Amino acid sequence: MLKYLIKQSKSLLVSASIASIVHGVCSVLLLAQISAALTTAEADNGKMAFIFAATAFCVMVSYVVAAILFERLGQRAHAELRGFIAKRVIAADYRQLELLGAARIQSALSEHCTRVAEFFVSFPVILTNAVVVAGCLVYMAFLSWQVFLLALLVIGFGSLGYHLAHLRAIRHLDIAAEEQDNLFAYFRSLTDGAKELRLNRDKRTAFYNDVLGQSIEKVRKERTLGMSIFVASAGWGNFLIYAFIGMVLFMLVGDIPDRTLIMTGYALVFVYMLGPLEALLLNIPRANLAQVSAERIDEITRSMSSSESQTHKVELPPLQSIRLESVLHRYYHEQKDEMFTLGPVDLEFHPGEITFLVGGNGSGKTTLAKLLVGLYSPEEGKIILNGVIIDDMNRDYYRQLFSTIFSDFHLFDRLLETRHESDLDKKGNELLTKLHLQHKVKIQNGAFTTLTLSQGQRKRLALAISYLENRPFLVFDEWAADQDPVFKEIFYHELLPELRAMGKTILVISHDDRYFHLADRLIRMENGRLTQVNAWPSETESETIASSLILAHGVV
Ligand SMILES: Nc1ncnc2c1ncn2[C@@H]1O[C@H](COP(=O)(O)OP(=O)(O)OP(=O)(O)O)[C@@H](O)[C@H]1O
């Protein structure tokens, strides 16, 4: 991931790095000039002052340029990452997203993204200070090769200690990053489960103490451990530096004649080098944290594979028929080591036909609908549209035939239409009136004035959107379940026949046995299998089917 970001902003990164290196080099030159001014007896003060001022100016300019460029780089990386993950989420196979879960995606989009972007804040600090430290070492080598060799020895020891610490620390940071994904799921429960938590004190206490609190604590503990190991290794580095200074001052320099002069030069270099070294040791762990987050993002985006090609076609073919041939799908439930199998299903749909899909809870109705509309690809069997087999190459195109309202539907706050029809607002508001919503919500400039509606009203709004989408095939998954009796009547007796008259193909998943007789065809699902395909049930027949459903579930 870091490599991808670096590649995306190559020129900006190169410019920012050059500015950082110039800043580091100029800082060391400044040091050399200060040292020379202090230790050289006869010197051309005017010339030295001029060079000093020019170098100081370069330090200032290179610092500002590097800081601005890296800030831009950081913000760009953040935006790129968010865009990259969002695009992957949009393109991912729906089933992969279900398996991955919303929490992990949220965690990648928020926290992990921020940490990776922070790399670009740490990077200039690391780069500039590494240049200053390297420059100081070179300057020391210039003063004395023995001191330089000693410095290399110290750096060798420091790096070894740092590497060992790094291996251990990364393990803890990885555990923290993994737990953070769970934490995001619990954060969602805080808002999604707000009613339940308020109504039940025990649930609230147990949720906080045993679930959320423990997860927060685990992230805190593991991250603290990981970062403490890094900080300890920074301390080890600091200790080595002082040991190095001590050895140079008291052992290497010893009682040489020009001791004071030489000592002044060294002392200056050491003092000058300490700040950058500390900054270096502190910022490397941050870069490591970014690396851990980048790996996590990689892992999450890798599991969002997309086997399908995205459609670019705008025109849809006239729907003649959709045929499901021996279509099969399986869910594997890991915890219970259980498998739910839907199918093999054979079914055919034609335009202007209302099909009711009925069956008990968990029998597989929604799963069949997801297969039909192309959200799942069949594990076995095939779906055939107008004689053409649907596969990964054309499934996205095929999906554009459908407008669906599943029970867990989502309402966007605006009509997301790329066909910019000028009278979209007018058409939308007429539909809202038709669905008795005109006093609750309006469409203005393509956006809904509010979404704070009752569940039944939200479903009517979703229905209005389905009308506007004007797709040939409509799927309603227990749409009428939240409607009052009056609107249920309107839905089954007026809206469905009207949609059929418009030539739409309609699949209605329903438990409303009173209306089964209104279907052109009634199909029944039981434990993943279609047990009955019934054309044009009469009113008495639909009552019989309803009672057989009740008997099948022992509800009498
Ligand atoms: N996303 C999923 N991952 C794993 N298993 C699932 C998933 N969705 C449904 N299942 C399982 O598949 C079975 C059928 O579920 P489905 O939602 O299709 O039933 P349904 O007939 O629509 O039920 P209901 O009338 O309650 O809406 C259930 O036993 C359920 O446990």
Q: Which residues pair with 505 in a beta bridge?
A: 473
ipTM: 0.96
Residue for token digits 């939240």?
Answer: 482
What local confidence, expressed as pLDDT, does residue 473 receive?
Answer: 95
CA angle in degrees (0–180, nearest 5) for 326-327-330: 125
Q: Is 98 in the pocket of ligand 1 (CB under 6 A)?
A: yes
CA angle in degrees (0–180, nearest 5) for 457-452-402: 50
Helix (H, G, I), strand (E, B) or coil at 363: coil
Band (550; pLDDT cuts 50, 70, 90): very low
Nearest to 305 by CA among 528, 100, 104: 100
Would you say residue 367 has pLDDT above 70? yes
Cβ–Cβ contacts within 10 Å for residue 406, how many?
18
Instruction: State pLDDT tens for residues 452-478.
Output: 889 999 999 999 999 888 899 999 999
Distance 383 CA to ligand 1 centre (A): 21
What local confidence, expressed as pLDDT, does residue 477 receive?
Answer: 94
Q: Is 524 in the pocket of ligand 1 (CB under 6 A)?
A: no
Distance 187 CA to ligand 1 centre (A): 25
Nearest to 34 by CA among 271, 265, 258, 261: 265
The phi and psi torsions of 534 (rounded to 5 degrees) equal: -125, 120
Tell me the pairing of strands 322-333 and 380-385: antiparallel
Quick one: residue 352, left, alpha or beta (phi over 0 = left, psi -120 to 50 = alpha)? left
Burial 21-52 (b: 16+ CB within 10 A, else e): bbbbbbbbbbbbbebeeebeeeeeeeeeeeeb
Would you say residue 444 has pLDDT above 90? no
Q: Which residues pair with 507 in a beta bridge?
A: 355, 475
Q: How far apart are CA 442 and CA 433, in angstroms?
A: 9
Task: Among 267-276, 347-356, 431-440, name the one with the lowest average pLDDT.
Answer: 267-276
Instruction: State pLDDT tens for residues 52-74.
Output: 899 999 989 988 988 888 888 88
Q: Is 363 in the pocket of ligand 1 (CB under 6 A)?
A: yes
Q: How far apart are CA 17 and CA 259, in angstroms?
A: 39
What local confidence, expressed as pLDDT, does residue 406 receive?
Answer: 94
> Strand order in 354-359's β-sheet?
402-405, 473-477, 505-509, 354-359, 521-526, 529-535
Residue for token digits 């008990």?
Answer: 360
Band (221; pLDDT cuts 50, 70, 90): very high
Kindly report the three-state secondary structure assignment for every residue of 391-438.
CCCCHHHHHCCEEEECCCCCCCCECCCCCCCCCHHHHHHHHHHHCCCC
Would you say residue 336 has pLDDT above 80? no
Considering the chain, what percentage of its residues have pLDDT values greater than 90? 23
**Mean pLDDT computed over 132-139:** 81
Q: Is 366 in the pocket of ligand 1 (CB under 6 A)?
A: yes
Tokens of 28: 């060391």
Band (555; pLDDT cuts 50, 70, 90): very low
Instruction: State pLDDT tens for residues 142-160.
Output: 777 777 787 778 777 777 7
Residue nearest to atom 1 of ligand 1 (CA): 98
Distance 192 CA to ligand 1 centre (A): 21
Contacts of 90-95 with CB under 8 Å at 24 or more apart are 91/304, 91/306, 91/308, 91/310, 92/304, 92/305, 92/306, 93/304, 93/305, 93/306, 93/307, 93/308, 93/377, 94/370, 94/375, 94/376, 95/375, 95/376, 95/377
Of 363, 482, 555, the residue with max ligand 1 atoms within 8 A of its CB, to mutate for a pocket test, comes to: 363
Instruction: State pLDDT tens for residues 471-527.
Output: 999 999 999 888 889 888 999 999 999 999 999 999 999 988 888 888 999 999 999
Instruction: Note whether 71 and 15 are within 8 A (CB).
Output: no
Q: Is 187 in the pocket of ligand 1 (CB under 6 A)?
A: no
Tokens of 150: 């000693």
Q: Is 362 in the pocket of ligand 1 (CB under 6 A)?
A: yes
What local confidence, expressed as pLDDT, does residue 553 receive?
Answer: 42
Distance 541 CA to ligand 1 centre (A): 27
Residue type, 101: G
Residue for token digits 């800081």?
Answer: 67
Nearest to 472 by CA among 394, 367, 401: 401
Q: How far apart are CA 277 and CA 224, in angstroms?
A: 22
Would you say residue 314 has pLDDT above 80? no
Cβ–Cβ contacts within 10 Å for residue 544, how many?
12
Band (552; pLDDT cuts 50, 70, 90): very low
Task: Among 109-118, 257-266, 275-284, 426-435, name the one with the lowest average pLDDT.
Answer: 257-266
Would you say residue 244 has pLDDT above 80? no
Would you say residue 101 has pLDDT above 80? yes
Q: Is 359 in the pocket of ligand 1 (CB under 6 A)?
A: yes
What local confidence, expressed as pLDDT, does residue 549 receive?
Answer: 46
Instruction: Note whether 183 and 262 are within 8 A (CB).
Output: no
- Which domains does the chain carry? 2-302 (1.20.1560.10), 322-552 (3.40.50.300)
Instruction: State pLDDT tens for residues 155-183.
Output: 777 777 777 887 888 889 889 888 888 88
Please give the model's pTM, rounded to 2 decimal places: 0.74
The phi and psi torsions of 387 (rounded to 5 degrees) equal: 85, -5
Q: Which residue has the higher pLDDT, 375 or 551?
A: 375
Instruction: Note whether 64 and 167 are within 8 A (CB).
Output: no
